[in-house]
Amino acid sequence: MTIRPYRSALFMPASNGRAVEKARSLDCDVVILDLEDSVAPELKATARDQAIAAAAAGGFGDRALFVRVNALDTPWGADDCRAVAGAGFGAVVLPKVSRPGDLQAASALLDGLPLWAMIETCAGILDLPAIVASAEVTRLQGLLAGTNDLAKEMRCIPGPDRTPLLGHLAMIVTAARAAGLVALDGVCNVIEDGAVLAAECAQGAMFGFDGKSLIHPAQIAAANRAYGPTPEAVAWADRIIAAFGLPENAGKGVIRVAGEMVELLHLEQAQRIAAMAAR
């Protein structure tokens, strides 16, 4: 079993050359060069060129390298998609995905490059089943919760516990799992309060997200801890795998391990944890 970790996905403004260079040495699993929210309108074209140059230069090691383009209903979106196709990115993050047609329009410009969809509109939440159902055609590989924009459109006040958004977060994870996609939690706007970030990471992990979108390098360590397998989880996985590997348990669907009844579904969970730990 081969698993790529997505514990920490860091947005970096492509217009900031120093930030992009720093990303090559950070301990995040994914670097997302941003052409959208973090880039001023007058710098859009420059950011696009610099992102393509960074991808060509490489040096990101084992980190997945994505690029977030501007939405297709902006003056820059279509040109972004045409420019980054074939530039060496692992995937394109498409913002404001509200319907399958948004993905289909982007996919037609990307020459087969995989897509990740940001779910950050009320329409996108309501149309999640259709959006993920288009995955095979559009090469959709993952969903990112766009909690800031979603809260703005809902006119809600998330608060530290994000109560108004919890149902939507669960829907995003559920839709991703139904289609075999990766799911990333939204960004935490708090940078300097480690307790707030840790609590939000723990909440996202509890909901089943694979990792978290980040806006600052200082957030990487907390995300990696929250979404990586704990020593206790790895020890549990090793026990389950070893027990099912015993000759006397060959072909069994249910066995007893350390006083607990475990099934083949637990073996699958254990194998995934062990693969993640090895990775």
pLDDT tens-place string over residues 92-133: 999 999 999 999 999 999 999 999 999 999 999 999 999 999
Which of the following CATH numbers is that of domain 8-227: 3.20.20.60, 3.40.50.300, 3.40.50.2000, 3.40.50.2300? 3.20.20.60
pLDDT in tens, 6-62: 999 999 999 999 999 999 999 999 999 999 999 999 999 999 999 999 999 999 999
Closest to 50 measured CA to CA, from 83, 82, 17 = 17
Query: Who wins on pLDDT, 269 or 145?
Result: 145
Q: What is the arithmetic mean of pLDDT over 218-225? A: 96
- Examine the pLDDT at 210 and tell me if it is beyond 90: yes
Report the b/e string of 248-261 with b at 16+ CB within 10 A: eeeeeeebebeeee
| pLDDT attached to residue 229 | 85
pLDDT in tens, 178-195: 999 999 999 999 998 889
Interatomic CA distance for residues 33 and 11, integer angstroms = 6
Q: What is the arithmetic mean of pLDDT over 146-159? A: 97
| pLDDT attached to residue 258 | 85
Contact 150, 125 (CB under 8 A): yes
Closest to 209 measured CA to CA, from 133, 145, 141 = 145
- Listed by start position, the domains of the chain span 8-227, 231-278
Interatomic CA distance for residues 251 and 85, integer angstroms = 47
| pLDDT attached to residue 237 | 79
Percent of the chain with pLDDT over 90: 78
Residue corresponding to tokens 């992102």: 51
**Which pLDDT band holds residue 252 (cuts at 50, 70, 90)?**
confident
* Cα distance between the two ends of the chain: 10
Q: 123: which 2 tokens?
A: 């329409």
Q: Is 62 exposed, middle or buried (0-12, 13-18, 19+ CB in 10 A)?
A: exposed
Percent of the chain with pLDDT over 70: 99
Model confidence, pTM: 0.90
For the chain, give the mean pLDDT. Answer: 94
